[in-house]
Amino acid sequence: MIIVTGGAGFIGSNIVGYLNAHTSEDILVVDDLTDGTKYRILVDLSICDYLHKDDFLARVQRNESFGQLRAVIHQGACSETTEWDGKYMMDINYNYSCALLEYCQRHQIPLIYASSAAVYGGSDTFTEHPDFERPLNVYGYSKLLFDQRVRRDLASASAQVAGLRYFNVYGPNEQHKGSMASVAYHFSNQLIDGGVCRLFEGHDGYRSGEQQRDFVYVEDICNVVGWLLGSPQTSGVFNVGTGRSQTFNEVAQAVIGWHGGGQVQYIPFPDHLVGSYQSFTRADLTLLRQAGFDVEFADVETGTRAYLDRLAASGQISPTSR
């Protein structure tokens, strides 16, 4: 059996779908369905059981057995970069992860977990080294602190521990994330609603819409997780992005191209994001490549087209042809 925490979330549900297609293992999903609408994400997935995140943590802390476990894929977290309740963030993202790490090491169970490119924050170098880790918010700090804990424990680890520093992920099943959903998702909705994609004006020395991010399609994330499941000797903290930077303008044009028309509108940069916004990211993939993952990642044009094709196939959107 494989446990996927956050399995009713964006990346977690895509990983469950990947596992359904690539392995016969039973899957136990751990999540929080207090927002009952999230059940829709699980409907088309095959899972053997579900546990609320608090019930799961209680069982982990009591050192209870979950039977024969192949791995734990830990995607559950508070991913709101604008959340400033530090106690809540550290409880959910750090303390919860530490308890799970200790359990997995005690029982020699591989742990693959979600970190974040937010650990780099104000840095302009995106290499997995402490010199470049400068989070701009408590979310990024909570992820960094757990990465540091993992690094300290690696030398004595009894089982695989792999942290994945996701860059800007986009793809199906992110609609519940609200403002934290990808720009590709928001641009598509904006185009459908009003015929324009709204981008930020210039900031941090970048021209309007020219802020750059490493946008990575969620299917590529799943491929990395699948590779790690087949490489239990591989441990460490790894960047997971495309290794390239593309502008928000390029994302908007990819969305406009798929819809068959539309325009770009630039809006003032929000005051509340000043000082806590990454205007540039680009994953250094050296460590991931050295570890043996040699599959290329989709660029924005390819990934956005695949994403919107999937939304259209499920009946969620259709081209506007404006």
What would the pLDDT profile of 182-208 be if each residue is shown by its tens digit? 999 999 999 999 999 999 999 889 999
139 has catalytic annotation: yes
Instruction: For residue 79, name the pLDDT band (cuts at 50, 70, 90).
Output: confident
Handedness of CA 117, 86, 55, 178 (dihedral sign): negative
pLDDT at 278: 82
The pLDDT, as a whole number, for residue 322 is 44
CB atoms within 10 A of CB 30: 27
- The pLDDT of residue 306: 97
Please give the pLDDT value at position 66.
96
Mean pLDDT of 254-275: 93
Burial class (CB in 10 A: 0-12, 13-18, 19+), 230: exposed
Cα angle for residues 283, 116, 223 (degrees, 5° grid): 70
Q: What is the pLDDT of residue 160?
A: 98
Q: Over 90: is that where the pLDDT of 275 sits? A: no
C-beta atoms surrounding 139 within 10 Å: 25
Q: How far apart are CA 248 and CA 31, in angstroms?
A: 32
Q: Which residue has the higher pLDDT, 283 or 180?
A: 283
- Supply the pLDDT for residue 321: 54
For range 260-283, the mean pLDDT:
91
Under 8 Å between Cβ of 146 and 93? yes
Q: How far apart are CA 148 and CA 128, in angstroms?
A: 11
Average pLDDT over residues 81-91: 87
Q: Over the stretch 9-38, which tens digit does the pLDDT of each residue have?
A: 999 999 999 999 999 999 999 999 999 999
Q: What is the mean pLDDT of residues 212-238?
A: 98
For residue range 137-190, what is the model confidence (pLDDT) as tens digits?
999 999 999 999 999 999 999 999 999 999 999 999 998 888 888 999 999 999
Q: How many CB atoms lie within 10 A of CB 42?
A: 18
Q: Provide the phi-psi class of 243: left if phi over 0, else alpha when psi is between -120 and 50, else beta.
A: left
Active-site residue, selected from the candidate residues 18, 103, 139, 277: 139
Enumerate domains of the chain plus CATH numbers. 2-167+218-240 (3.40.50.720), 169-213+244-281+299-313 (3.90.25.10)
Range 49-88 burial, b when 16+ CB lie within 10 A, else e: ebbebeebbeebeeeeebeebebbbbbbbbbbbebeeeee
Counts for the chain of helices (H) and strands (E), in that order? 11, 13
Residue tagged active-site, from 50, 177, 206, 266: 177
The answer to whether the beta carbons of residues 319 and 262 sit under 8 Å apart is no
* Cβ-based neighbours of 108, under 8 Å, separated by 6 or more: 158, 159
Q: For the chain, give the mean pLDDT.
A: 95
Q: Is the pLDDT of residue 214 over 70?
A: yes
Of the ranges 120-124, 140-144, 194-198, 245-249, which one carries the lowest mean pLDDT score? Answer: 120-124
